[in-house]
Amino acid sequence: MEKTIALIPGDGIGPDVVAEGVNVLNAVAKKYGHKFNYKNVIAGGAAIDKWGKPLPQDQLDICLNSDATLLGAVGGPKWDNVAPEIRPEKALLGLRGGMKVYANLRPAVMFKQLKDACPLKDEIVGEGLDILIVRELTGGIYFGDRGTSADGKTAWDTEKYSWEEIERIVRMGFEFAMNRQKKLCVIDKANILNSSRLWRKVAETVHAEFPEVELSFLYIDNAAMQLVRNPRQFDVIATSNMFGDILSDEASQITGSIGMLASASLGVGGPGLYEPIHGTAPDIAGKDLANPLATILSAAMLLRYSFGLETEAKAIENAVNSVLDAGYRTGDIAGSEREAVKAAGKLVGTKKMGQLVVDFINA
Ligand code: IPM
Ligand code: MG
């Protein structure tokens, strides 16, 4: 097939890792007889430097007119003091809202090869962790009514959800659960918030269509605790924009694989947005030190969810596993074995890591 992919390298290590994502996509295209065309998009700090705003409409349009978008990372201390309306993060919100990608899939998986990096005790982790967070992405307090009083002494933001906004998220949660452990946990603050009580009502209603799935509810505070106390109780989690933001960082950290985790943001039929969950790591930008695997795995999600190319997606994921099995590590995932990895000649940089994945795809 022939497809167009918008690339947003962004800031910091973004360009380093997106370059490797593209190398891997090209290897897949060659092996399986596809053609991927790329369109470059400037967003985030890079766009602030160039045009004084983080996401000009024409850049967003390139994404809207492509079949999918692959993003590195945006932001960095350089733009810490710009006005709130033009912060690099606004590029992300503009992309999410503009592309109407209302559901954010954040798989928190532990790579067994990197088990040592997991901060939890062995008896808690057992055979590994595999949690899928489905986070609402274009509503709630991130997009709700907000303001600051004239005297600057009062400020507010609003958590507001409609039945439809909730329904499409919990439905997606149920659908994913059907192909996994058949467990869905909706996380909210229904002991306090009206909007959370609506989440529960919608989830219970949609549950009737998925009787095989075990539905449970947890309050956000308890869920944050349960994630470190007994993470294996979770299969799929569905939650609001704000709670999903917080829980997905926690979930990624407990896997010990933060440099490895991918994400997909999906809407109705339109192009999806794919990005590693890590940030811009400006201190190592351009130094061939960043781990490109999360971006490479995001490219796999792109092939799976936007193009329906399951075999190709699996080929990338298998290649990543093979590279890890073979003992290759970037600095961030070498952990306590760093010296041994180095002595074995397997401590590699961004480019080499990308090339290894390509080699395994071609093997
Ligand atoms: C994330 C990030 C963003 C969010 C920020 C950078 C706006 O934390 O993707 O989780 O809060 O959604
Ligand atoms: Mg976050």
DSSP 118-130: --S-HHHHTT--E
Same domain, 241 and 210: yes
pLDDT tens digits, residue range 163-179? 999 999 999 999 999 99
- Where does a domain end: 221, 254, 287? 254
Strands 272-276, 262-266: pairing kind = antiparallel
Same domain, 3 and 29: yes
Atom 6 in ligand 1: residue holding the nearest Cα = 89
Atom 1 in ligand 1: residue holding the nearest Cα = 245
69 in a domain, yes or no? yes
Residues flagged as binding site = 76-89, 96, 106, 135, 221, 245, 249
Structural contact between residues 341 and 347, judged by C-beta atoms closer than 8 angstroms: yes
pTM: 0.95
* Atom nearest to 277 CA in ligand 1: 9
- Where does a domain end: 219, 254, 289? 254
At 182, which CATH number? 3.40.718.10
Same domain, 201 and 284: no
pLDDT tens digits, residue range 83-96? 988 999 999 999 99
Domain that holds residue 175: 119-254
Domain count, the chain: 2
- Where does a domain end: 190, 223, 254? 254
CA dihedral sign, ordered 127, 170, 228, 321: positive
- CA 267 to chain CA centroid, Å, is 14
pLDDT tens digits, residue range 182-215? 999 999 999 999 999 999 999 999 999 999 999 9
Same domain, 227 and 148: yes
**How far is residue 332 from each of residues 12, 173, 240, 285, measured CA to CA in Å?**
16, 31, 30, 14
Same domain, 139 and 248: yes
Q: How far is the CA of 243 from the centre of ligand 1 (A)?
A: 11
User: For 333-360, what is the mean pLDDT?
Assistant: 95
331 in a domain, yes or no? yes
Q: How far is the CA of 218 from the centre of ligand 2 (A)?
A: 20
46 in a domain, yes or no? yes
* Atom nearest to 75 CA in ligand 1: 6
310 in a domain, yes or no? yes
